[in-house]
Amino acid sequence: MAGYIEDRWIKKKKDAVTGKREHTTRYGKGSRYRLAGIPGVRDKSFDILEDAKAWLRRAGTDSERGEFVDPRDGSITVDDYVTRLWQTGVRGTPATVKRIDERVRLHIQPHLGTVPLRDITPVVLRGYIAALEAECSPRYARQILSSLSNIFETAIDDKRLVRNPLRAKSVRWPKVPDDQREAWPLKTAMKVLDAINPRYRIAAVVALGCGLRQGEVFGLSPEDVDFSRGVLRIRRQVQLLHGRLYFTLPKGGKTRVVDMPPSVASALADYFLEFPAVEVELPWGGPEAGRERRKFPLILTTTYGNALRANIFNVDVWKPALAAAGVIPMRKAGERWAASRKDGFHVLRHTYASVILETGESVVTLARWLGHSSPTITLDYYAHLMPEAGGKGHSAIDSLLARTSQAAVAT
């Protein structure tokens, strides 16, 4: 690595007459030693020669390893780095980008925005995580820290940081309780289904009978229903972002085929006769202006022929049914419905999974029907719902040991 140290107080050449090195015009002013001549690195000044030599040695070693980072590049604040350099590289669906933006804007920048990147040390992060745990759930706090870690990793790639301070051993992320999904008893599910407005009851029937997500139910078209093969083709969902609806692929960007029980097929056939599908046109892939627009006949629409909005459906259809079924209290006039996250529309998907597992269906098959990228995810979520978990293994061991003991007695 190139580089040299210049003494800015004493001239390099000796005087021709006196044979001594004379003072420069900068003598006694500012830092004496200037380190320069390193390609791509700004000049750096030191008061002590040994400090300049030590810095040059470290920089040379790091440069040979490809790890050299000019510490002054880390003087940029988190706010400046996020806004000018990091944010433009965020990728994902519009909903994903929105969630990441909210984490950074609401929970990272208010705490760390004015701090230079290089000054975010483990001690700073330990205090930050403590504050985060006081205002967020452990699961959401970990999502925020994942976004912050991504900022640090990008800063490393940009030669702004040497290492990710969130990976320090003393920085401990919040612990998350076991991520178990809670299902309803079938009796509760049927009470709610019976209480739903008849126009929208089919939404709950399809979710409970086939395990679809809410947006996938809203995006379902008669073209996706294959009565001859007894399957649903999950090709799109309806999403809401910034108050605007749009079509997009199912979660994870993957379409799938789901087994359709005869009861669901029969309910859909009856529904088509009473409520014909309506063609709806929406942007594809995001709500922004200029997006390609696509048309699909949708099974579920409003009385005005529009796609359903999850927020309106949940308030005007779902929660009144929950109250009528005795799941949540009835709201008083002028009040909002009580928050009940565990009893959201998504609980029908968990109930579907519990029923499928109870019948002894393969976890691999269930993962495919649910649209999980791996059966491991399905097991993580629903293993606690599997009947007699561990019972078969214990029985097999008991049987083996019993036979071994009998053989020993016989000999």
List, as one string, the DSSP characters of 36-67. Answer: E--TTS--EEESSHHHHHHHHHHHHHHHHHT-
pLDDT greater than 90 at residue 362: no
Quick one: pLDDT at residue 345? 95
Maximum mean pLDDT: which of 30-39, 94-103, 362-371: 94-103
pLDDT greater than 70 at residue 195: yes
Neighbours of 263 (CB within 10 A): 10
Looking at CATH, the fold of the domain delimited by 186-385 is given as: hpI Integrase; Chain A (1.10.443)
**Looking at residues 120-128, what average pLDDT do you find?**
95
Q: What is the pLDDT of residues 324-361, one digit of tens each?
A: 999 999 988 888 888 777 899 999 999 998 888 888 88
Q: Give 4's strand partners.
A: 36
**CA trace torsion 379, 382, 386, 389 (10° rounding):** 60
Q: What is the pLDDT of residues 147-193, one digit of tens each?
A: 999 999 999 888 888 889 999 999 999 987 665 568 888 899 999 99
pLDDT tier at 390 (50, 70, 90 boundaries)? very low
User: Is 373 strand, coil or helix?
Assistant: coil
In the chain, where are the structural domains located?
Answer: 4-68, 75-167, 186-385
Between helix 347-358 and helix 201-210 the angle, nearest 10°, is 40
Q: What is the mean pLDDT of the chain?
A: 85
Quick one: pLDDT at residue 245? 96
Dist. CA 181–CA 217, nearest whole Å:
20
**Higher-confidence position of 242 and 381:** 242
Quick one: pLDDT at residue 372? 86
Dist. CA 257–CA 263, nearest whole Å:
17
**Looking at residues 31-55, what average pLDDT do you find?**
76
Buried b (16+ CB within 10 A) or exposed e, 21-46: eeeeeeeeeeebbbbeebeebeebeb
**Higher-confidence position of 57 and 2:** 57
pTM over 0.75: no
Quick one: pLDDT at residue 338? 80
pLDDT greater than 70 at residue 40: no
**Looking at residues 100-109, what average pLDDT do you find?**
95
Quick one: pLDDT at residue 35? 75
Where does 75-167 sit in CATH, by number?
Answer: 1.10.150.130
